Structure 1
Amino acid sequence: MSTLATPPLGLYVHLPWCVRKCPYCDFNSHTAPDQLPVGDYLAALRADLNSELERAQGRHIETVFIGGGTPSLFPADAIGTVLEWLGDHLAADAEITLEANPGTLEQGRFAGFRAAGVNRLSIGVQSFDDARLRALGRIHGPDDARRAVDAAHDAGFETFNVDLMFALPGQDHAGAMADIDEALRLGAPHISHYQLTIEPNTVFYSRPPALPDEETAWAMQQACSAHLSGHGLQRYEVSAWGRPGHACRHNLNYWRFGDYLAIGAGGHGKVSDEHRGRISRYRKVRVPALYMARAREGRADAECTDVPAADRPLEFLMNALRLDEGFSLSLFTARTGLPAAAIADRIQGAVDDGLLERDGDRVRTTPAGHTYLDSLLQRFLPETP
């Protein structure tokens, strides 16, 4: 086995409460009580972080992503407290993202979040169409979404993301394009644009809404992609578009198979140990009350498992092949600890079939490979007897 190199490090912070659970959401989110247990949850996060920093192996945290749930339900001083704990562990130029929903009660907090140290927002707009928002169970309307984007500008955020979904219940081609146009008009420097999928353990899974057919959804995606490109946003990942300098560094670390710590109920982390040649994945206890109790006892992990060498090619490629830049074979070796020869034959087979292209050390998907990414990834499943 080749030498495993220690990759860059991020931190994910999970705040699990929402005003209301959306019917399509399969994240670990819970309807907020009348009074958020901010103090108790912060105490649990502090104890959890103390344990997590041992996994940092002396590395600076280069990116922080505060997700949920709806993190912007928490007051700005609570977010600032979490960031203060990081102290010297945080890189001087760290990207610090906070997810925010466009509810009118939250917009006034944007300036507070900026003052607390957050330098990037991800605003969960999903659509600017009132009927589509109601179909998705969102608590905000189109005007709330517009005000939220304006508030991000006003609060001094130089970069932020607008989340948009397409192939929504009752949505047509014109509606999908109108959402893109509105986000562009509002000056969003980064747009996440992804298809609504029906996930298990959601309301939509048990009571599926009528969605556009696959052909219509594909046409929406192609037209919206061309429109975004035509307005100066570059696609750098399957569903991520940004103007130059506005790519999400935290997500790029995921897609390049970097390391990330996790604190908060249900958070997932990944760490590499180059001295032992190990890569481990772990997750935290999901239920908020149980998480708070366990974290204070130093037992917030629900499970921790090593990634076997046989599984590493698929795990790496599931992320790296989403990127338009693809990956270098030297990065594959550094992040997995495996020689490039471990995947050379399968890469060549995919090149021969027009799904991948290779230029020296660099490998990336072709347009056909992007279209049939799931089938392409199946070629890298662990070999079994």
Structure 2
Amino acid sequence: MQTISLAQLGNSGLSALPPLSLYIHFPWCVRKCPYCDFNSHAVKDANSPSGLPEDQYIAALISDLESNLPQVWGRSVSSIFMGGGTPSLFSSASMDRLLEAIRARVKLNPDAEITLEANPGTFEIEKFAGYAAAGINRLSIGIQSFNPEHLSALGRIHNRDEALRAVEIAHRHFSNFNLDIMYALPKQTLAQAQADIRLAIECNSTHLSAYHLTLEPNTLFHRYPPSLPDDDLAADMQEMIEAELASAGFEHYETSAFAKSGKRSQHNLNYWQFGDYLGIGAGAHGKISFHDKIIRQARYKQPNEYLAKMADGNAVQSENVVEKDELPFEFMLNLLRLTEGFPLALFTERTGLPQSKIFAEIERACSEGLLERDLHWVKPTEKGQRFLNVLMERFLP
């Protein structure tokens, strides 16, 4: 990539727009997990049509997309991610209807990665074949743990056998799927964390996401903290997981993401490379670049309020331009998650700012052993990966 200065850019800001993804939020779950701070809301009866306004919500999503087409007009969509909540509460017919509407309204790349988050409850597994027929080509399955005690502590509604059954069905219909696994769980030992990751490896997925459990504000766990492994034990678990997955042929390409060769998540990579994404659905966020500015959007969060606002034609609650002095931190917040680092020229390409805006902070982080760089590339060191929050704070305005 060629280095571009602000003088070369003139008044245009960005010389070219970044890749564009589409994020679709589904805000309902069977039950709210005690650790979850996402925009998710329990339904009274997930198996009952009256428990979920499925048709109404799909119609609202289509209207949401239509009302925001002028902001992305003519741009190709490289990936779609359906997240939640639990998108797999919705029927395959609804997903087919939604994807048909998307294809009719945007330029969806022929090889676009289309991911759906699914939980391994038995009533959802039967839908997997229908999802594949609708055009979904990647699943992300929320296993979290195979241990019954830890599943109970996390408030998960499935058991070990249902998780393994979900993996079995996924293999029948998808050649590409992710498993979510969490570690540093309440009262978890190193041996138990190792048993989880080894069983996840045996499931032979193409991608694994291994997340450290954290106590997020506005969650039940934050109000009533469980007994968690101390920092040293959690670090031992992280090192063990990285070693086990490396031995199994997984590439550690992002803080919590591990993939078989050629199976990195294209949607998430676009986030981490400071690409653009249009977010539709209750509480969805978006980042959209123009040649002279970058904006962030947020939709109304509560499902009923979102539906009411979309009935009036617009559910965007806030929209603001990202200030230039905020862009270095916004950029680094994403790019420093990549274990292999990034080309320095990408900073100018995605922000419109000269590389000199970040040189002083990069040099300081290098002197502290958090980053390493050459003329063209910068990457976090092993220490930088371990103290990622400290490293990111170096770039705050």
Deviations 1:76-99 (A, max 9, x none): 010111111122521111000000
Deviations 1:19-50 (A, max 9, x none): 11101100000011332111111111111010
**Alpha-carbon contact 2:289-2:295 (below 8 Å) kept:** yes
Q: Structure 2: how far apart are the matches of 1:136 and 1:76?
A: 28
| Aligned with 1:15 (options 13, 26, 51) | 26
Instruction: Report whether the alignment pairs 1:29 with 2:40.
Output: yes
| 2:85 corresponds to | 69
Instruction: Report whether the alignment pairs 1:338 with 2:363.
Output: no
Residue 352 of structure 1: CA displacement?
2.5
Amino acid at match of 2:290: D
Instruction: Report whether the alignment pairs 1:305 with 2:320.
Output: yes
Q: Structure 1: how far apart are the matches of 2:395 and 2:193?
A: 34
| 1:103 corresponds to | 121
* 3-state SS in 1 of match to 2:68: helix
| 1:225 corresponds to | 242
Deviations 1:123-165 (A, max 9, x none): 000001011000000000011100011110012x111000000
Q: Structure 1: how far apart are the matches of 2:363 and 2:222?
A: 39
Structure 1 segment 163-312 matched on structure 2, within 5 A: 163-274=180-291, 277-312=292-327
Residue 63 of structure 1: CA displacement?
0.3
**Alpha-carbon contact 2:190-2:237 (below 8 Å) kept:** yes
- Between 1:238-247 and 1:30-39, the stretch displaced more is 30-39
Instruction: Report whether the alignment pairs 1:44 with 2:55.
Output: no
**Alpha-carbon contact 2:178-2:209 (below 8 Å) kept:** yes
**Alpha-carbon contact 1:79-1:113 (below 8 Å) kept:** yes
**In percent, how many aligned pairs have the same letter?**
51
Residue 184 of structure 1: CA displacement?
1.0
| Aligned with 1:80 (options 93, 96, 102) | 96
Residue 348 of structure 1: CA displacement?
1.7
What is the TM-score of this pair, normalised by structure 2? Answer: 0.94
Amino acid at match of 1:44: A
Instruction: Report whether the alignment pairs 1:146 with 2:157.
Output: no
Note the aligned Cα RMSD (angstroms): 1.0
Q: Structure 2: how far apart are the matches of 1:379 and 1:184?
A: 36
Runs of 4+ in 1 over 2 A off after TM superposition: none
Deviations 1:250-272 (A, max 9, x none): 00000000000011000000000
Q: How many residues align?
A: 379
Amino acid at match of 2:80: V
Gaps of 5+ in 2: 1-5
Instruction: Report whether the alignment pairs 1:357 with 2:372.
Output: yes
Gaps of 5+ in 1: none
Q: Structure 1: how far apart are the matches of 2:250 and 2:58?
A: 38
* 3-state SS in 2 of match to 1:54: helix
* 3-state SS in 2 of match to 1:283: strand
